[in-house]
Structures are given as C-alpha cells and as structure tokens.
Amino acid sequence: MMNPRENMLKAIHNDNPEYVPNAMSDFVEVKCPVCERPIKAGFDVWGVEWAYDPHAEGGTYVAHGAKVIHDIDNWKEELKVPDLDKVDWTYITQNWGEFPLDVDNIDYENKVIMGLVEMGVFERLYLLFGMEDALMNFITHPEEMAEIAEIIADYKIEVITRFSKLVKLDMIWYGDDWGTQDNLFMPPEIWRQCIKPATKRIYDAIHDLGLIVNQHSCGHIEKVFDDMVDMGADMWNMCQPCNDLAKLKAQLGDRKFCFSGGLDSQFVLNRPGATPEDVRAEVRLRMDQLKGVGGGFVAGPSHEVPYAQDMIDALYDEMEKTKWY
C-alpha cells in the first residue's frame, strides 16, 4: 500500500492513486517567512499597513484607507520594491515567525511538503492601491497595471526561489483570490491582459525549480479556469462550489489537473442547522463529481473546517468510507 505522500503525488498527477487524499492530513504546510501579512498590527514588506482584531479569529486586515500608491500616474515614484538581500534568512530559518517549525524534522517520507506563498499578483496590486482604486485602474490604465504586475512577479519569483532553498518542498501553494461569490473581480479580458502573463511566469519559475504549482483562488473563476490549466497550474486549491465543479471536471477532457477542496464549507459544513448527514451527503456528492477514474482530486473543505465536533467526525468518517478507487 502506498504511503500518504506517494498516494498524494499520484492523485495530483492523475496517475492512478489508491484512494482520494485528505487535504486536512496529507500535507505538511510551511509558510513562507517573508512578511507579506503581519500577524499583528504593523506594516508588511511593501509598506502596506495592517490592523489587528483579536476577536476576528486573531486575524489581521488592511488598515482603513491604507495604500502605498496614491496616483497611478506617479506609480514609478511611489512604488518601493522590497530588497530581499536585506532579509535575515538565517534568523528566519531559526525562528520562523508565525509558524515555528523544526524544518530538519519534517516528515518528508510520508507527507507532501507544501510551501505557502501568500499575496499573489492581483492581491498585491489591490493592497498597493486600495481595492477601489485598483479595480478602477484595471479598466482605465491596464497597461500600467500589467507593468506593475510584472514587477510583482519578479519579486515573487525571487521569494519562491530563496524559500525553496530553506526547506525541501514538493509544491508551492500560490495564493491569489481572483473571484467573488459569483464572478471574477474584473472582466476576463482584463485578467488576461493584466494578471495572466505575470502569473504564467511565476508558474514557469515554480516548475523550473522542480515543484508543483498549487494555485489557490477562492471565488467564482470559471471564466478563466481553462486559462489557469493551460498556463501550467497543476492543481487548484479551495475549489469552491460557487463554481460548477462537475462541469469543470468534464471540461478538462484529457488534460491532467487536480482539484483540491470542493466540500462546501459555506452552505453545508458550517451552515446553521446543517446535520452530520448533510455533511456525509456533501462528501458523497463531491466524490461522485470529482473523484474521476485515475485521480485528480484531493478532498477537503472549500474553506473553513466545520466548527462542531459531530460535523467534523462525520466529515472524516465519510471521507474515509468513500475515498477508495
């Protein structure tokens, strides 16, 4: 029998795994140590200010009105790209910031090691400009936004390259939320002009390092799904059922690609009034839609895991019952 690592890699590559892997247990997550999002109030490496609310699951959020670039016409003067040569990587390796981790004792033999790289090209653009200005600029100044996206991509590629030398990684989880509940944040033709070329270069750089591209994107991204696959993404993390997942699975044809997530956190796993049997039915539904015959599915919540223990128990139990090929 394959161990979880072997089986996970088979599933990702559509190479006949023995069972559908569990996204909640079969990865080891290692967060990139460069400060893209402070864990307390403060500034990130690009100069964006973040606020902290201990009641919001301990999370940080962009401070009201925070922006670095105030005028798109002056972006070359206002944008300051972080200098990675000034990052103390030795200190980071020893202390590891938000996620203290003994990198020498990770279970490399049995788990797939996933390096988390937050704040992708689109997210960094709206952090630099503020959401409203960024979305307007995509329409009024797409050439300038595409140029800034390429600068961000250069930075991300260097971050990923250095990160890969700190830890023995199998994949890069590259986070960039392109969708709202029911659509992209921008018209698909603008996404293709401003976001796609820079993102494709990031994918290519990850592959050049011998790593798997795990594109994280929340939201409804059906209109650019084929682009994402053809650009070279190997898998899609947190694929949410606001997309027609069964349609997208069929749409792949003979292209090899892996869905990760899929179990509806919003309307089933954490819905008030939902029952353990609702959870079990959701697991069976997504297994039927995404399991396929040769792999291409890593099962897990489409966002947060259930909060109630009986729902968690039902989730794990039904996944175990239905995972086998």
Domain locations in the chain? 4-322
What is the average pLDDT across 252-269? 96
Q: How confident is the model at residue 104 (pLDDT cuts 50, 70, 90)?
A: confident
User: What are the DSSP E strand ranges found in the chain?
Assistant: 27-31, 42-43, 49-52, 60-62, 112-117, 171-175, 212-216, 235-239, 258-263, 297-301
State residue 30's pLDDT score: 87
Q: How far apart are CA 132 and CA 223, in angstroms?
A: 22
Q: How many CB atoms lie within 10 A of CB 320?
A: 12
pLDDT digits (tens, 9 = 90+) for 82-91: 999 987 666 5
Q: How far apart are CA 175 and CA 155, in angstroms?
A: 15
State residue 151's pLDDT score: 98
pLDDT digits (tens, 9 = 90+) for 209-250: 999 999 999 999 999 999 999 999 999 999 999 999 999 999
* Residue with more model confidence, 232 or 107: 232
Q: CATH number of the domain at 4-322, out of 3.40.50.720, 3.30.565.10, 3.20.20.210, 2.40.40.20?
A: 3.20.20.210
Q: What is the pTM of this model?
A: 0.94
Q: Is the pLDDT of residue 92 over 90?
A: no
What is the average pLDDT across 49-54? 88
Q: How confident is the model at residue 101 (pLDDT cuts 50, 70, 90)?
A: low
Q: How confident is the model at residue 207 (pLDDT cuts 50, 70, 90)?
A: very high
Q: How confident is the model at residue 174 (pLDDT cuts 50, 70, 90)?
A: very high
Place of tokens 């050049």: 208
What is the average pLDDT across 130-141? 97
Q: How far apart are CA 107 and CA 120, in angstroms?
A: 28
Instruction: Judge residue 48's burial from the number of C-beta atoms within 10 Å of its C-beta, 0-12 exposed, 13-18 middle, 19 or more buried.
Output: buried
Crossing angle of helices 142-166 and 131-140, rounded to 10°: 120
Crossing angle of helices 142-166 and 121-129, rounded to 10°: 120
